[in-house]
Structure 1
């Protein structure tokens, strides 16, 4: 069979030479075709070390790459090229090809038999092109393909047999297309699929059972689609799921039910309630509308929890008492100017804590007594009292050699800095420094200081408003 292909290549090349000679074209380099001609491209003139540049193949071109197969070429990447279709004889010319990159090449369509002879191909990257359809059985011949990248094309639909024959496929990206629905059996033949990316499409729902044959699935990205609810039964048969990302889908509630899930990501969904049954290791639900922390059945197995940018407010009681295995906790920008004294009492293993951006003025220093393993502490962008901040730095942060991040607040907007963290004094006069023997002020004094700071902030806001009004009046006068 291989000899017959070589003979076919030789005959086609000879025909191309005859046709081109009859049209008066030169024999070297690329030959521009007229109607009905074969066009030959010597890739030796365009490629070096597996990088091919300035290759242009129109939709009507019938291309001959070479008169004889080019052996031991394992990878090809096309740059600055315009290729409307993959030539029929691509894999006859390069029988050993394992990786093919035709990204951003204006690729428009496939033509059967497109991948005949591509049994050695393992990676195919066709992202950022103009593909509108994946025909049925188009990948016949690419039996060992493990990675298929089709992101950022113009795909609007798929067929049940679009990926037929790809029994070795492990990674598939269809992100950034225009898919609105998926047929039930579209992924049924992909028994070894590990990573599936469907982000950035127009999916509103998926048929139940669509992943029942993908028992090895470990990563599923459904972010930035149009789901209004998530059917957790879709993934009931996946025992090894590591990542589920459903961010950017606007839905009021989220309920997940898995035997084991390493990481669940659902930020920017406007969520108001989250319930998780089963085991989840890492949960990221930042930038939502949560007023209560998620209800997690097996909270003692959670090691990472990101609740930042939610309007949780002051966390009453001890809502983290069951989260005893936490290593990372992000409470940044949750509108919590105060934290209860026993809030972190059960987090002896916590390594990273973020409470930045909450307008915190002060707190009882004993709140950190249980955080014996803390290594990273982010507490910038607050309304710290300078005296308390000095105590916090000396008795906790520096004493335990904890890493932290400095403020970027402009100097004219603050009273002082303590090791790079912005702070304010109780009055316009610099107060005395606190020692390590206590909190430095009574509860009544702290309340008075809070009121003073609120009045100061309100006064500054009013002044800014008046300045803006005066400027507008001046501009109006100038116009008049």
Structure 2
């Protein structure tokens, strides 16, 4: 090793020492301002850390006291070049991943990045409560991924991560954050992913995300937010997804998910499980919008939305003034009574309005030529909406289960032959009509269907797995004082009666009993006719037997 001409080197070392001393004095002043603290130096990683490739895993660091501040003061290797005139400080290895497991740092450690060139830091479940801008002031410019999940952080001070200007992924989920200071995310111009889920946030400061120009995903689910202002994401032109489910939202600004400037298209917005959200008025351009299990009564959506899920609400009024982009709409389990606003949605391909028992018939003039799937399960249908179906030339899957349909006119079969799936179980089918539906329409065209759950006490029949009951075409008068045009059930359970005057229970039971007797009479007649045919065959066989034996001669 050559050490000639090393005067520049000595001067440099002196300058570095002075700078380090000044930094230590500033840190000490800050500690004095914030109260007495105990600085504990960590001068070596030996005994705690193991390195495999570019990953260093550390265990067993314990700094649980609030007054304990771990300060990493690792030695820096100085190497003299062979010519003796130059020197090198530190290793030439690339940035590493640093993981702390089974460690406790009540205060985020100081000078952690000063001698360790770290691109990914994992300090999940380390008991961290306090974090300050000093923790990232020196050497954190190489940091790209920071995982601080499952800690006890309550407050993010202003400019906390200012020294980590290259940070792209920040995980602060499952902490105890109750407040974000204004400017907490200053200088994070490259941050793309921010996870703040499952904290205790009740409000968000104005412009708290304004400086995050590269932000693409924000996770705010599982907090206590009540209001989202219209300009919250106005300065995030690259924002793609926002998750805000499981909060206490009562009000969402109309332009909350619109970025100012150029046309902005979100990919995913989730506002589900906010039980106090009653009205939703949004001007939004998004591919997927999910607002499930809230208390929505009225929904107005402006802009361009492709896929919308509003299940499990109380929606009665629904408006899509600009519905040209809508392709997938789910409205299960609401309080809908009409769908007039959806009768002309040119690109709609999937419509699910199941479990809206007061919906009734679809409106006339329905025109959704690209619709491929229509779910009308448990929507109070009493007859097939044939006129609406004629405007659905590409319909492949139709679900009318769980309604009160009794028959389908065979003249409608050509309209339904294009189906690949036809779910008709859970209705009040007349067996005569069901036989035609199954044999002529469904099974003949290879259409998939589902069956009813078998009930041994069901008074009717199961035809190819679908429950049905035989009904008379009209009611036969038993008492001249009562008349009705309704059908009579062939079982003890009768069909709905639409007579203008109420029929007594005795008359109904008498009529139903008569229908049951007639039904079984027809069964017995069929059985007796088959027995008669069998008897004729046996008699013919006996005649043949006598004829043969009369012409046979036995000789011994």
TM-score (norm 2): 0.63
Q: 3-state SS of the aligned residue for 2:321? A: strand
C-alpha separation in 1, matches of 2:254 and 2:156: 30
1:61-460 alignment runs, 5 A limit: 62=109, 65=112, 68-71=115-118, 73-74=119-120, 76=122, 78=124, 81-85=126-130, 89=135, 96-207=142-253, 209-214=255-260, 215-218=263-266, 219-225=268-274, 226-232=276-282, 235=283, 238=284, 240-258=285-303, 260-279=304-323, 280-296=326-342, 298-312=344-358, 314-315=360-361, 319=364, 321-386=366-431, 388-413=433-458, 415-419=460-464, 421-426=465-470, 448-450=487-489, 452=491, 454-455=493-494
Alignment partners' CA distance in 2, 1:399 and 1:85: 72
Structure 2 spans left out of the alignment, 5+ residues? 1-14, 29-37, 49-59, 74-95, 477-484, 498-504, 506-556
Distance 1:76 1:416, change over 3 A: farther
Cα displacement string for residues 70-91 of structure 1 (whole angstroms, at most 9, x for unaligned residues): 44x547473x543334575469
Any idea what the Cα deviations from partners look like across 1:120-142, whole Å, max 9, x if unmatched?
33222322322111211111232
Matches of 1:253 and 1:21 in 2, distance apart? Answer: 61
Aligned partners of 2:489 and 2:495 also within 8 Å: no
Q: Distance in 2 between matches of 1:349 and 1:271?
A: 28
The alignment's TM-score, normalised by the length of structure 1, stands at 0.72
Structure 1 position 400, deviation (Å): 3.2
Moved more, 93-102 or 363-372: 93-102
Identify which of 30, 33, 56 aligns with 2:104: 56
Bigger relative contact order (CA 8 A; separation at least 6): 1
* Count of matched residue pairs: 419
Larger CA deviation: 82-91 vs 282-291: 82-91
Kindly state the Cα deviation for residue 313 of structure 1 after the two structures are TM-superposed.
5.3
Name the SS for the 1:277 alignment partner: coil
Give the drift of 1:169: 0.5
C-alpha separation between the residues in 2 aligned to 1:152 and 1:135?
18
Shift of 1:178: 1.3
Q: Deviations over 1:377-435 (max 9, x none)?
A: 3333333445544443333333333333343444454755444x3413428xxxxxxxx
Alignment partners' CA distance in 1, 2:152 and 2:127: 6
Looking at CA atoms only, which structure, 1 or 2, has the larger radius of gyration?
2
- CA distance 1:388–1:64, shift in 2 (3 Å): farther
Mapped partners of 1:54, 1:367: distance in 2: 70
